[in-house]
Every structure is written in C-alpha cells, then in structure tokens.
Homo-oligomer: A and B are copies of this chain.
Amino acid sequence: MEYVRIGLIGLGQRGSQIMRDVLLANEKIRVVAVCDLYPDRVEAAIKQATDAGFAAPFGTADYREVISRDDVDACLVICSWEDHIRVAVAALRAGKPVGMEVGGAYSVEECWELVHAQEETGTPFMFLENCCYGRREMMVMNMAEQGILGDIIHCAGSYEHDLRYEITHGKELRHYRLRNYIHRNCENYPTHELGPIAQILRVNRGNRMLSLTSTASRAAGLHQYVLEKKADDEELVNTTFKQGDVVTTVIKCAGGETIRLTLGTCLPRFYSRNFTVCGTKGMYEENSDSIFLDGNEEMMKTEWNWHTQFGNASKYEEQYDHPVWDKFLHDGVRGGHGGMDWLVYGEFVDCLLENRPFPIDVYDAAAWMSITPLSEQSISTGSMPVAIPDFTNGKWTSR
C-alpha cells in the first residue's frame, strides 16, 4: 500500500483547513469519502479535491455511509466536539482505524466508551493533538528526555486565544463553540497544552493524573463584546454566557508533579499556549521563550534583569531541536499551524503504512479529554478536588 484511503468526517473550519493544508498535499493520502451534515460543505470538499486534480470523493451527510465503505482504509473525525467520541466509537466498531481531532469530552462515561471500543475491537486509534508536534514542545521534550532539565516537577500551559469573534459569530459560522459557551462552564479545550505536558510527564506510562481542582472567573468578555460589536442581534444581546472568561485548573500527578492549565478565550489578548516546564536542573517558559539552566553563570548573574534573556530559547535550537523537527526543517516545513498539522497527520498515516503503533493512543485521549467534564464538576462544586479515573485500569504502572 502506497497511500492511505481516507474517509473524512466533518468539513467545518478545521476539516476544510486540514483538507487543504494536509490531506490534498500529502502524497501518502487519498481522500475517498467526505461527510458533513451541511450539503454545501460536502460540495465544497469535493470541489477542493477535484480542483487539486484528484478523483471526486464520495460525499454524504451520514457518517455511517463512510465507515462502512470498503474503499475507506481509515477515518478522520473532525466534526463538532459533541460528536467526536460517538463517531470515533462507531468507526472503531466498524473496524476502521481512527484519527480523531481534539476537544474536551462531555462526560467521563464517554471517555470510557472510547476506551472500551478500542480495547474490544483492537482497532488502532490516534488522538490528533497537533501541539505535541510543536517545535518548542518537541525541543523541550527532547531536552527533558536527555535529562537536561533534571527531574520535571511542575508544568503549565494555556489555551489563551481571543475567540470572541468566532464564538459570537457562531450562528453565521455554524460553529459549535457558541452553544458550548452559552451552556457550559469548564476547561473546555485542555489538550493543546496538556498533551505535550502529559508526554513529558509520562502520563499513562509510569505516571498518571490523580486529581484536579478547577476555578472559573465570572463571564464578562463575550457579553461586552456583543454589546459593542453585535448590538443589533437582540437574541445574542440577551444571551447569558455561562462559560467563565478564565478557567484555572491544577492537576496533581502520581509522581508528585503538578500541572497548571489556563483557558482564556473570552478576553482580548495575544495567542499563547504558555508551555512551561520546570525541573530540578532547568526550565523553559514559552511566554518569554526563555530557557534557564542551572549552573549557567551568565544566567545566574542576570537573576534580576532576566528580561535580557527574552527569546534565548532560539539559541538552543541547533543543539536540542527534536530530530523530527531537524528533518522537517531540512525537508521544508509544510502544512497548517506552523507545521504541527503536517506532522501529526503525517505520523498518523506513516504509522498505518508502516504498521507501527500510534504514539498518542486511546488512553491518552480519554485521560486528556476527561479534564473537561471533571473541571465542570469541580467548578460546579466550588472548586472541590475531583479524582481523575485511571483509564488504563492499572496498565500505566507497566506500560
């Protein structure tokens, strides 16, 4: 097999971007079926494929028609958050390997359903967390694996992204975030920052996340934005958003490490995942893009005027860039979101073609996605600590 024949389920903003930036550009991929509830999106995707010189893929509004096709080798699930697990479970049970896009879960139960579907069928499953393939994330992962940072004690990360336009234009954009921000109050998008951290802390592979607390600020940003930018939309002006503007979640791990997550999508700000890794020998922090290594005399001297070290991480690229990125830079960075999309979808396809296990598996997906309903529990009970299930049922101690 020279390429993987893909059934693509979900053709919204993310699905069409991945189609354009990755699926139609990677020679190891053929899109043979596309699916969305909106017919115009299906038509547009078929046109994307034919415009790029490929045969027209099969189009449908019913994902069950995709997962049952013999010419589909694997499914990509890029639909709305609410349907990720339901569709992925159906595809696994139909025997189709699944690559599933990111987002939080709605209940701990659906995380278990995903685990059970994978365990019972043995069908390969990969969680497509692109930020596990970010250049800085992989460089720091590489440094951590080499012991440069010592024992890793504390990590932090954020999904801080001004999404006020996208959320409040949910009707026009047909975007699921709007209904989520109206109805829920939780860490609704934890995996971009948690994924790389969980890999560094070897979560589900000798470590696991034990418990969390979560605290939400009041919700003010979206309503103020609506009053200013969409004052003529009476329905929206009268809408109360439940989602707090900033949600802070703190996770404790079996190894004694702590992880701090921040969701901040309703206030004006620069984009940041603020990926931060603190060990007994050194640290990296994204917002200053700085590395601090123990015993480095120059660094120790600048303790009080550390702003001079802004961006010094780039000096470490030559020595510590991850081999995956060394090759990527050499070959030429491609695909969306600074190359991360290209890498994560490429890994999905390469694992299938080379019959290798996926690096981000169903236990990772379940654990990372479960943070969303668990944070909702904690917030709704006044930041009470909440236990995080062991989705491996003990296998984390020997994996």
Residue ranges of A at the interface with B (Cβ–Cβ < 8 Å): 150-151, 153-154, 162, 211, 213, 215-218, 220-221, 224, 244-246, 248, 250, 252, 255-258, 260, 262, 264, 267-272, 278-283, 285, 287-290, 292-295, 299, 302-304, 306-307, 309-311, 382-385
A258 to B217, CA, bound (A): 5
Take A268-B293, A278-B267 as given contacts and tell me if A213 and B283 are in contact as well, using a CB distance cutoff of 8 Å.
no
Take A221-B280, A256-B218 as given contacts and tell me if A154 and B246 are in contact as well, using a CB distance cutoff of 8 Å.
yes
Q: Is B384 a contact partner of A271 (Cβ separation < 8 A)? A: no
Q: Is B269 a contact partner of A258 (Cβ separation < 8 A)? A: no
Q: Is A303 a contact partner of B270 (Cβ separation < 8 A)? A: yes
Q: Which residue of B lies closest to A164 (CB)?
A: B294
Q: Which residue of B lies closest to A252 (CB)?
A: B215
Query: Which residues of B lie under 8 Å from residue A281 when comparing CB positions?
Result: 268
Other than the given A218-B257, A268-B294, A269-B292, 6 more pairs (CB < 8 A) read A153-B217, A153-B221, A217-B258, A260-B262, A267-B280, A268-B283
A218 to B201, CA, bound (A): 14
- The residue in A245, A270, A290 that gathers the most chain B C-beta atoms within 10 A of its C-beta is A270
Q: Is B245 a contact partner of A153 (Cβ separation < 8 A)? A: yes
Q: Is A217 a contact partner of B257 (Cβ separation < 8 A)? A: yes
Take A153-B220, A270-B299, A285-B287 as given contacts and tell me if A248 and B250 are in contact as well, using a CB distance cutoff of 8 Å.
yes
Q: Is B311 a contact partner of A307 (Cβ separation < 8 A)? A: yes
Q: Is A280 a contact partner of B218 (Cβ separation < 8 A)? A: no
Q: Is A280 a contact partner of B224 (Cβ separation < 8 A)? A: yes
- The residue in A151, A262, A264, A307 that gathers the most chain B C-beta atoms within 10 A of its C-beta is A307
Report 30 cross-chain contacts, Cβ distance below 8 Å, ordered by A residue: A150-B224, A151-B220, A151-B224, A154-B245, A154-B246, A154-B267, A213-B213, A215-B252, A215-B258, A217-B257, A217-B258, A220-B280, A248-B250, A248-B260, A252-B383, A260-B260, A260-B262, A267-B280, A267-B283, A268-B292, A269-B278, A270-B290, A270-B292, A270-B299, A271-B306, A287-B288, A288-B288, A289-B310, A310-B310, A384-B384
